[in-house]
Amino acid sequence: NSYVEALEQNDYSRFNSPLFARGYIKSYARYMGLDEVPLLNDCDRICRRDEQGSTRRHSHVQSKVKAPGHAGFFLALITALIVWALSCWVFGESRTKELSVVVLDERIAPLLSLRTVPSLGETLLSGGQIKEDPVTLPENIAPAELSFMFGEDVWLELRDAHNNVAVSGVQRKGDALELKVLGPVTVTAAYWPVVSMYYNEQLVELKDSASSNAVRVQVGEL
């Protein structure tokens, strides 16, 4: 897996962002029974070093450019900084939206084994264990970035806000899945404890909400 190789080589440039890298490290450390603190510290150190190196290279290039001797240049610079600050504030606010996690009627028989077999998806679907409800489109439809990591082979189905199937089938141990769909989404998992899910970079946690490890859950933002 490319993410596992990236961790072994201390190459965090393969991750979408330092935040996603930290989330992956936490899930990986929890699954492998490792202490996450030194791994996270190492990640922060390397990401900070890479960022400083990029800043130095950028400053070196800028120093070669002759600055114009007009006040308009400084005005444009100040305007750009204001726009950048506003953009950071707006996007920062959008990322702090509270997640809505609703466990739907659990109609999947609990599994006796943590590991699955390739025919699990077909067994679940053909066995009549999942009963489809009439489709009611949610009102707060919005684009969403989803990330999944799997600690064991597990059957998983993902439907977008229009009830279209985006993913369905057995996901392999150690795999990572990233995709963009319209949310809120409905996720059905045969064994939720081995699935790590992020919705717009926020970890989805069921905690004590589900009475079974085989769940169907709707996830969105309030």
* pLDDT, tens digit, 9 for 90 and up, residues 14-66: 777 778 878 888 888 788 888 888 888 888 888 888 777 777 766 655 555 55
Least confident of 61-65, 107-111, 169-173, 185-189: 107-111
Q: Is residue 184 within 8 Å of residue 206, measured between CB atoms?
A: no
Residue 136 or residue 141, greater confidence: 141
User: How many C-alpha atoms does 48 have within 13 Å on its Cβ side?
Assistant: 6
- The pLDDT, as a whole number, for residue 25 is 80
Q: 175 or 121: which carries more pLDDT confidence?
A: 175
Contact 184, 100 (CB under 8 A): yes
CA distance 172 to 155: 9
* Position 105, amino acid: D
Alpha-carbon span 140 to 103, nearest angstrom: 18
pLDDT at 60: 59
Sign of CA dihedral 63, 65, 71, 74: negative
Q: Please name the residue that has the structure tokens 């510290």.
A: 41
For the chain, the structural domain boundaries read: 2-95, 99-221
**Res. 133: pLDDT tops 70:** no
* 22 DSSP β-pair partners: none
pLDDT the model gives residue 77: 83
pLDDT in tens, 146-161: 999 999 999 999 999 9
In this structure, what is the dihedral angle of CA atoms 168, 173, 177, 183, given to the nearest 10 degrees? 50
Distance between start and end Cα atoms, the chain:
34
- Tokens representing 57 are 């290279």
Asked if residues 180 and 145 have their Cβ atoms less than 8 Å apart, the reply is: yes
Take residue 203 and report the two structure tokens written for it: 């970890």
